[in-house]
Structure 1
């Protein structure tokens, strides 16, 4: 049966149209088994039938599993406001989050609901175990459903790399405009609803913007997908080998893992480009990846607040400009304007000036205002953008301003360093001092770690000003990371809050 669009926007209608195209067509592969578009439609219809009205806020305990894709699609089909809940944050924090949210409906697998659901009053609970399996409704809707948000598709929980996670409202219209503009990396701009060839590999967490947007792209484009429960090099390489995608998406951490894995270059026989975003990527790593596997890396710039990407490289720009513009995150996507403004009076600055980045994106509609970010940036006369760090992470040491990204980049030049993080530590005399944590490519003992730290300090001293040098560099077995693969700077700051070595100068 053809589902009827019931949502408040073109996105809900587009999902409904895609689900009606071919019930027998393959939609999602998971652990080697395929689910069809018809199975997705059956789950989505059953979920949508339980939403009392567009804009109803529904919490979803969201993992990279087929059942969760069905729950998500059904709620968007119904025009609900999806509130993403990250189960990996731990039982106590998730329960406290749910208690504070007061959601009238909660969705997830039976196991997750049993683990995380609180006793915070009446609630309708929707559970399923897989696409095409029954959707069970238990409990009851509260008399007061709370304030509806009919224009909001998703309240997305940010990764919280620099502080506590917060929820960002992403509108239906914003996401639709973002999906239409996502053809930046593709040669085909055909927007007709149809099932397209090829299989996209989704390896980013669905609870974060990268994974969610990838799922929405597949729905919008009518493209099948291979869903990985989590990123592992062997599983990912197997998926690439079998499905032969033209484009792959890798966050910097995953890209470095693939780079270090010495995969057979034949794995990449069909891959024309690798898109990398969500966190800074060293241009040296990008060049090394291309040299090793023959695949150019197209760096992108995105933020949850923008509902996806607003700038990035494409193949044509990469071939023409990478050697001269390496380190840039590319140029503005179609329908997006970028500018750099003074951090004090917010006046627009000329090309090649350093300041705060402002974005005016088509995702926000015609005539939208400029949105000021906390990213320090430089924009050249050709429109190429460099992200220089975050203004709210700047370290002021005795009146001198330090950009942590500058220090991190220098530390990561050492071939032994897989990744580094630089944060400020309060200092009673200087206000704050930079401290660093590094993760090495191969484990070392304490004696060798001391030697590595000495070498890093000596190398940094040849490049950085004295006030920029970290007062402590600590070698960790692994840098703490968020589920999306970003370094968790808040956790790093906690780890380095108290000195444990006598490295200060």
Structure 2
């Protein structure tokens, strides 16, 4: 049995009859998870799928999928996560391409099209059901393929990147990487804890990050690792989250910037957040203005972090101690290197390290990846100060060169989000015959809000240098998003291209 599998089993034993998962008022105990692991392990063993197999899981944020994920890893198998929140035809096409020996999902997600796709490639199909505090597995299609996908040595999970900037890539996550990330993730208010006891925790994880994304995957494993109960949400809802804060009184919370903004704009109060010592914010850049607004409204420190899917954990973060000492002077930083991580900034052309304070490309060495043997280059522009605090300037491919002037699209979008009625915004560069590229903004407003383009343009001119001001502002009902709730740049670009095509068509018709 692998290290993580053994730890999961021991955690379920330690938790006993206490609640492990709470979902819409229904609870599932750690003992029920223990029984589920044993049941799935027996079923897979009888089918001839050994420890080398990797099990596909149709993932979404419901008890069936969460218990399936924990059971697969607890049964010492690898897990390949498949996003179930997509059109059925897309899921069926992916199932055909994966060559899986077994596919696990809820009855609702195992549609006739998906089962037919599995049957076409000889894949075993298992349905998981959670009812009245118990978990059961039912084989609805036996395996007929003799050759099937196995995991590479050391790999535990295959997960897709968010697809924020392009087509999602499926990447393998090694067990040793996960083990190290989980150990480093055990934290107190002051920072990393080197040793801890395997005993049930009372403060729960309020989890709404998608299971099929790094945040959800890691939070699930971290909670099991600490024997910490999970309060599960299908998606983020400000009022339901406020109610959970009051009911469960967690000590720490994890909120991405979009959720932080929704809580700032909600009716939640300081009393609702009274149990929370700190909020950890990651997955996307957080503007200083939004961080200050949250801290002023709720009186809770926001500890920003930086990481990536490939790192399976954070690379830099703030501690409460650092927040108390440096928050006024280091606003905008994503913290200092975490335990087992080294970071540096290198010149974008030569690749040589630059002095502190200078901008360049961020690189990291991680003990959990390869014992810190190689520098891993990111696509992020950043700088380090003399105290080791990291500042992310933006993506290297986020820069728009407008007539020779560099426009950082993320900075412009952060300014637009300060305008009343704006919920979210993204700025992209579009081709221009005279200037090469120009910034164009696409804005999602709150329901019922209609923007005055001249007014928001005047606002932008007050906050930005002239070359940073977008040449056009497009309002959209809802920005396209990835499974991790990040704005999908490729889809926004398609939207802008469709507008350009329509304008060209109209111009052509007028000239006829």
Among candidates 134, 137, 161, match of residue 135 of structure 1: 137
| Equivalent pairs, count | 490
| Residue of structure 1 in register with 2:165 after alignment | 162
8 Å CA contact retained: 2:99, 2:148 = no
Unaligned 5+ runs, structure 1: 1-5
Pairs within 5 Å for 1:458-469: 458-469=458-469
Q: Distance in 2 between matches of 1:344 and 1:32?
A: 55
Query: Which range moves more in the overlay, 127-136 or 170-179?
Result: 127-136
8 Å CA contact retained: 1:55, 1:152 = no
Unaligned 5+ runs, structure 2: 505-512
Pairs within 5 Å for 1:222-371: 222-371=227-376
Pairs within 5 Å for 1:36-115: 36-49=29-42, 50=44, 52-115=49-112
8 Å CA contact retained: 2:98, 2:149 = no
Q: Distance in 2 between matches of 1:363 and 1:344?
A: 28
Q: Distance in 1 between matches of 2:269 and 2:366?
A: 40
Query: Which range moves more in the overlay, 60-69 or 22-31?
Result: 22-31
Whether 1:17 and 2:10 are equivalent positions in the alignment is yes
Give the CA deviation at 1:120: 3.1
Q: Distance in 2 between matches of 1:15 and 1:456?
A: 52
8 Å CA contact retained: 1:417, 1:438 = yes
Pairs within 5 Å for 1:168-187: 168-184=171-187, 186-187=189-190
- Give 3-state SS (helix, strand or coil) of 2:229's partner: strand
Give the CA deviation at 1:40: 0.7
Q: Distance in 2 between matches of 1:304 and 1:89?
A: 20
- Give 3-state SS (helix, strand or coil) of 1:20's partner: helix
Q: Distance in 2 between matches of 1:90 and 1:355?
A: 40
| Residue of structure 1 in register with 2:488 after alignment | 488
8 Å CA contact retained: 1:14, 1:193 = no
| Residue of structure 2 in register with 1:29 after alignment | 22
Query: Which range moves more in the overlay, 236-245 or 48-57?
Result: 48-57
Give the CA deviation at 1:356: 0.6
CA gap of 1:147–1:243, structure 2 versus 1, over 3 A, is: closer
Q: Distance in 1 between matches of 2:76 and 2:392?
A: 36
- Give 3-state SS (helix, strand or coil) of 1:15's partner: helix
Q: Distance in 2 between matches of 1:349 and 1:493?
A: 34
Give the CA deviation at 1:189: 4.7
Give the CA deviation at 1:363: 1.6
Q: Distance in 1 between matches of 2:352 and 2:52?
A: 38
| Residue of structure 2 in register with 1:473 after alignment | 473
Among candidates 441, 448, 468, match of residue 436 of structure 1: 441
Q: 1:479-502: CA deviations, max 9, x gaps? A: 222232211222211112234789
Q: Distance in 2 between matches of 1:112 and 1:152?
A: 26
| Residue of structure 2 in register with 1:124 after alignment | 124
Pairs within 5 Å for 1:196-211: 196-211=201-216
CA gap of 1:334–1:31, structure 2 versus 1, over 3 A, is: same
Give the CA deviation at 1:164: 1.2
**Given the two structures, how large is their TM-score scaled by the length of structure 1?**
0.92
Give the CA deviation at 1:105: 1.0
CA gap of 1:185–1:468, structure 2 versus 1, over 3 A, is: farther
| Residue of structure 2 in register with 1:409 after alignment | 414
Whether 1:149 and 2:146 are equivalent positions in the alignment is no
Give the CA deviation at 1:398: 4.2
Q: Distance in 2 between matches of 1:234 and 1:442?
A: 17
Q: Distance in 1 between matches of 2:144 and 2:32?
A: 26
8 Å CA contact retained: 2:15, 2:227 = no
8 Å CA contact retained: 1:337, 1:359 = yes
